[in-house]
């Protein structure tokens, strides 16, 4: 890995300007797909599935059958089922604490308040192929269930045999989701955003995907809500002499293997640690199999080690980057936690590796990327509810304030606003 000093700004500039959403070619393809799905509905879905996935679903249909779900579940051994259930329970425990109640403020002959209302229907996109992650099912569905969403549908691409990846279906069954459609890519986003003869229009779309999915979600925002426009994964580790080089290298590679554009950054006060980690990355990368090429490209083009004079300097850089995942691999990490103001998720100490958050600890692994942690948050229960304000004034209460409202409205030049309150008392 590249080792640079903190006064070298190129790596930082590259990170802050990194994006997968600047391709006019992919955008044009997405626009065409969305327009066709909007106009042609199910026919477009069948055509695109045949074109991109080489699967003809026109006879069997888009909806995954109960038999297919049960068959997928039967393929799991008891140990795997128990692990998924444990992870689901941890996720439930964490997200249950996020649930909010409405409130009412009693002002005598008036009251004001707020209602928390679950969305009626949401759509979850679950990737297929190389990026088939059952953990995404848990992380996207469980907060919606806790929020009280009435209907949750799922879209995921079929494999070459026309079936859906069995781990995705089995995980969905474990948490009670059975409306699953065999459709992927931008066409799936269009189907959930606009609705087709088979797939209902949703209120919000959540879930990760490739560049076509990300661009499609960005494009349909406004027709429906979306969770975020996610970029490539990233981890930033701040480490001191107490860190174990093997652990740090392993954590860096756990993100590098996701994508050639994934970023894995080490910030350290120790040149000795930096050199050891660099060697460890080279050694461990050779042990990877299916994800080796991704990791090599990520380490070469989007990753590096930054030497700093102090942990506080490293935290300043981290706050500028605003990483998706931030590990504090230092002595007494709690000492520095309050100084971290821009990060999707923070992992404290030498035994809290980032994959712990991906699968098992409970906090959501759907996190802001590409510096968006400066203004956005992990996926949670709040993403699946709406807030409505409530106002009640009696006649006597309004009478006491209507002249103030009249004056305020006229200050803004809005005579009809003023009249709306004054007309109720014009006979007095």
Q: Which fold has domain 24-226?
A: Rossmann fold (3.40.50)
Cβ(331)–Cβ(242) below 8 Å: yes
pLDDT of residue 18: 64
Residuewise pLDDT in 10s, the chain (428 residues): 888 887 766 767 766 666 655 678 899 999 999 999 999 999 999 999 999 999 999 999 999 999 999 999 999 999 999 999 999 999 999 999 999 999 999 999 999 999 999 999 999 999 986 567 899 999 999 999 999 999 999 999 999 999 999 999 999 999 999 999 999 999 999 999 999 999 999 999 999 998 899 999 999 999 999 999 888 899 999 999 999 999 999 999 999 999 898 999 999 999 999 999 999 999 999 999 999 999 999 999 989 999 999 999 999 999 999 999 999 999 999 999 999 999 999 999 999 999 999 999 999 999 999 999 999 999 999 999 999 999 999 999 999 999 999 999 999 999 999 999 999 999 87
The torsion region of residue 385 among left (phi > 0), alpha (psi -120 to 50) and beta comes to: beta
Cβ(340)–Cβ(319) below 8 Å: yes
Q: In what order do the strands lie in the sheet with 110-118?
A: 103-106, 110-118, 385-393
What DSSP string runs through 358-394? HHTSSS-S----TTGGGT-----GGGGEEEEEEEEE-
pTM of structure: 0.93
Cβ(249)–Cβ(277) below 8 Å: yes
Domain residue ranges in the chain? 3-20+231-362, 24-226, 394-425
Question: Backbone phi, then psi, for 122, in 5-degree steps?
Answer: -125, 155
Other CB atoms within 10 A of residue 90 CB: 17
Confirm whether 3-20+231-362 and 24-226 share one CATH topology. yes
The residues, ordered by sequence, that sit 6+ positions from 365 with a Cβ below 8 Å of its Cβ are 135, 139, 345, 357, 358, 359, 378
Cβ(236)–Cβ(340) below 8 Å: no
Q: What contacts 24+ positions apart, CB below 8 Å, involve 58-67?
A: 60/162, 61/198, 62/181, 62/182, 62/183, 62/198, 62/199, 63/179, 63/180, 63/181, 63/182, 63/198, 64/164, 64/169, 64/180, 64/181, 64/182, 66/178
User: Which residues belong to the active site?
Assistant: 324-325
Q: Is 3-20+231-362 in CATH node 3.40.50.1980?
A: yes
pLDDT of residue 86: 98
The one-character DSSP state at 229 is -
Gap between the Cα atoms of 301 and 287, Å rounded: 20
**What burial class does residue 150 get, using C-beta atoms within 10 Å of its C-beta: 0-12 exposed, 13-18 middle, 19+ buried?**
exposed
- CA angle (146 as vertex; 143, 147 as ends), nearest 5: 85
Cβ(235)–Cβ(265) below 8 Å: yes
- Helix ranges (H only) for 133-184 are 134-147, 166-174
């Amino acid at each position: 890995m590249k080792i640079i000093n903190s006064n070298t700004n190129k790596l930082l500039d590259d990170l802050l300007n990194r994006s997968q959403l600047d391709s006019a070619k992919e955008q044009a393809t997405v626009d065409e797909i969305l327009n066709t799905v909007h106009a042609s509905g199910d026919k477009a879905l069948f055509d695109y599935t045949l074109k991109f996935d080489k699967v003809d679903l026109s006879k069997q249909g888009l909806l995954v059958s109960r038999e297919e779900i049960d068959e997928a579940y039967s393929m799991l051994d008891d140990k795997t089922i128990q692990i998924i259930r444990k992870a689901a329970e941890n996720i439930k425990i964490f997200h249950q604490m996020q649930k909010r109640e409405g409130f009412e403020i009693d002002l005598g002959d008036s009251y004001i308040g707020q209602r928390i209302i679950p969305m009626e229907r949401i759509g979850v996109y679950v990737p297929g192929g190389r990026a088939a992650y059952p953990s995404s099912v848990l992380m996207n569905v469980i907060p919606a269930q806790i929020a009280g969403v009435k209907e949750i549908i799922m879209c995921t691409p079929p494999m070459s045999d026309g079936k859906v990846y069995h781990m995705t279906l089995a995980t969905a069954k474990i948490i009670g989701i059975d409306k699953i459609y065999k459709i992927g890519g931008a066409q799936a986003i269009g189907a959930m955003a606009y609705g087709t003869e088979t797939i209902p229009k949703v209120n919000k779309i959540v879930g990760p995907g490739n560049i076509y999915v990300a661009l499609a979600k960005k494009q349909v925002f406004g027709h429906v809500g979306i969770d975020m426009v996610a970029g490539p994964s990233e981890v930033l580790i701040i480490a001191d002499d107490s860190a174990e080089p093997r652990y740090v290298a392993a954590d860096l590679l756990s993100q590098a293997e996701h994508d050639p554009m994934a970023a894995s950054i080490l910030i350290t006060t120790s040149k000795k640690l930096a050199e050891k980690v660099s060697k460890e990355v080279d050694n461990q990368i050779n042990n990877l199999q299916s994800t080796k090429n991704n990791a090599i490209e990520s380490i070469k083009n989007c990753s590096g080690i930054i030497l700093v004079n102090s942990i506080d300097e490293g935290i300043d850089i981290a706050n500028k980057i605003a990483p998706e995942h931030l590990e504090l691999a230092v002595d007494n990490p709690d000492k520095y936690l309050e100084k971290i103001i821009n990060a999707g998720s923070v992992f404290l100490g030498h035994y809290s590796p980032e994959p712990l958050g991906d699968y098992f600890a409970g906090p959501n692994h759907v996190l802001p990327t590409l510096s968006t942690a400066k203004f956005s948050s992990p996926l949670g229960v709040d993403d699946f509810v709406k807030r409505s304000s409530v106002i009640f004034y009696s006649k006597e209460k309004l009478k006491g304030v209507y002249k103030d409202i009249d004056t305020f409205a006229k200050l803004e030049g809005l005579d009809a606003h003023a009249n709306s309150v004054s007309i109720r008392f014009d006979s007095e």
